[in-house]
């Protein structure tokens, strides 16, 4: 199958999901929530209820709607006594919009009905399934560029280590074509860390964004003077927010605090983004050697820096 055919097949899957979800939330009904209003009209009422003093241009921009269509909707709202218009202090040509008391009274039961419908849908799922659904929705928003850049670093929780093995195996298979040998290596490293964990000398950080694990890194003891950085990764959906640099910085800070004098790591030359992070953090390449691993011909590298 060609790349274009592949892309068209994925597009068909997205469209199929859209059709399924619109059936779930009932937006194909002529009037939403058994009211006189369409989905778009209720969406405009929602914006006006939660963000007073918007202009028609603001609504067009926020919702991606045609100016002529928005103008007709607003005229209808005004005729029904749902909104008032006042001149904008910053642009006398524009009018600020606000819901009237009647407009708020009209919107409130629509908002409550929408809440009840979604609560009813969620009640059909178990609590773990509800969390899975929310996480999936957040992931879609992240991938399509809506979510913010905030994240947190935390200690591992039950299940995180299995997630790390899974995500890294999937990630490196997708990006570099590495086979099950790499998954076995990750599993061995993680299992050894869990079995032999010494909190005086070792640490793991989990990066979490919007309730989803998006990165991790380990510091393990090589010897009394040397710490080893292992299994740094950042999920593609969370790149560009400085998470990788922060994880490396935390490793260096911890290693200094507990008294290590040097930190080292092993990586491969194809991992260019990771190597740039290490260079930026002051690591230097001290050794490299070709090897055949994970189904590929690679060049292994040892990087090190004094603390």
Q: How far is CA 78 from the centre of its chain?
A: 40
Interior angle at CA 80, CA 75 and CA 86, nearest 5: 55
Burial class (CB in 10 A: 0-12, 13-18, 19+), 156: buried
Quick one: 149 exposed, middle or buried, by C-beta within 10 A (0-12, 13-18, 19+)?
Answer: exposed
Residue 293, judged by CB atoms within 10 A of its CB (0-12, 13-18, 19+), counts as: middle
The pLDDT score that the predictor gives to residue 172 is: 93
User: For domain 152-306, which CATH number applies: 2.70.70.10, 3.40.630.30, 3.50.50.60, 1.10.287.1080?
Assistant: 3.40.630.30
pLDDT tens sequence across 88-111: 776 777 788 899 999 999 988 888
The answer for residues whose C-beta is within 8 angstroms of residue 271's C-beta and 6 or more apart is none
Query: Using one digit for the tens of pLDDT, what is the confidence trace for 272-303?
Result: 989 999 999 999 999 999 999 999 999 999 99
List, for residues 219-272, the tens digit of each pLDDT value: 999 999 999 999 999 988 788 878 899 999 999 989 998 999 999 999 999 999
Strands (E), 90-241: 95-99, 152-154, 203-209, 212-221, 226-234
Residues of the chain with CATH 3.40.630.30: 152-306
CATH 1.10.10.10 in the chain, residue ranges = 3-143
Mean pLDDT, the chain, as a whole number?
Answer: 86
Where b means 16+ CB within 10 Å and e means fewer, 278-292 reads beebebeeeeeeeee
Query: Which 8-state DSSP code applies to residue 37?
Result: -
Least confident of 169-173, 211-215, 236-240, 281-285: 236-240
CATH classification number, 3-143, choose in 1.10.260.40, 1.10.10.60, 3.40.50.970, 1.10.10.10: 1.10.10.10
The pTM for the full model equals: 0.57
Residues 188 and 223: beta-carbon distance below 8 Å: no
**What does 145-163 look like in DSSP terms, one character per residue?**
T-S-S--EEE---TTHHHH
């Amino acid at each position: 199958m060609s790349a274009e055919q592949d892309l068209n097949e994925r597009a068909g899957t997205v469209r199929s999901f859209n059709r399924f979800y619109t059936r779930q939330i009932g937006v194909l009904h002529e009037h939403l929530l058994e009211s006189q209003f369409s989905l778009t009209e209720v969406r405009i009422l929602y914006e006006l209820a939660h963000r007073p003093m918007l202009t028609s241009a603001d609504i067009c921009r926020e919702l991606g709607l045609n100016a002529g269509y928005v103008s007709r909707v607003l005229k209808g709202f005004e005729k029904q006594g749902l909104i008032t218009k006042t001149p904008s202090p910053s642009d006398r040509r524009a009018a600020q919009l606000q819901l009237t008391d009647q407009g708020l009274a009209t919107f409130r039961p629509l908002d409550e009905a929408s809440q009840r419908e979604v609560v009813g849908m969620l009640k059909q799922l178990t609590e773990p399934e509800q969390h899975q659904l929310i996480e999936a929705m957040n992931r879609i928003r992240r991938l399509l560029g809506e979510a913010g850049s905030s994240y947190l670093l935390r200690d591992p929780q039950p299940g995180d280590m299995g997630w790390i093995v899974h995500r890294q195996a999937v990630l490196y298979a997708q990006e570099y074509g590495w086979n099950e040998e790499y998954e076995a290596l990750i599993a061995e490293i993680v299992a050894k860390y869990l079995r032999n964990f010494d909190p005086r000398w070792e640490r793991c950080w989990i990066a979490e964004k919007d309730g989803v694990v998006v990165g991790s890194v380990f510091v393990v003891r090589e010897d009394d003077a040397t710490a080893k950085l292992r299994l740094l990764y950042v999920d593609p959906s969370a790149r560009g927010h400085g998470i990788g640099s922060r994880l490396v910085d935390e490793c260096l800070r911890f290693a200094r605090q507990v008294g290590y004098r040097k930190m080292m790591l092993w990586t491969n030359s194809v991992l260019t983004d990771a190597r740039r992070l290490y260079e930026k953090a002051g690591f230097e390449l001290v050794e490299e050697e070709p090897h055949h691993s994970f189904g590929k011909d690679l060049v292994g590298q040892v990087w090190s820096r004094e603390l």
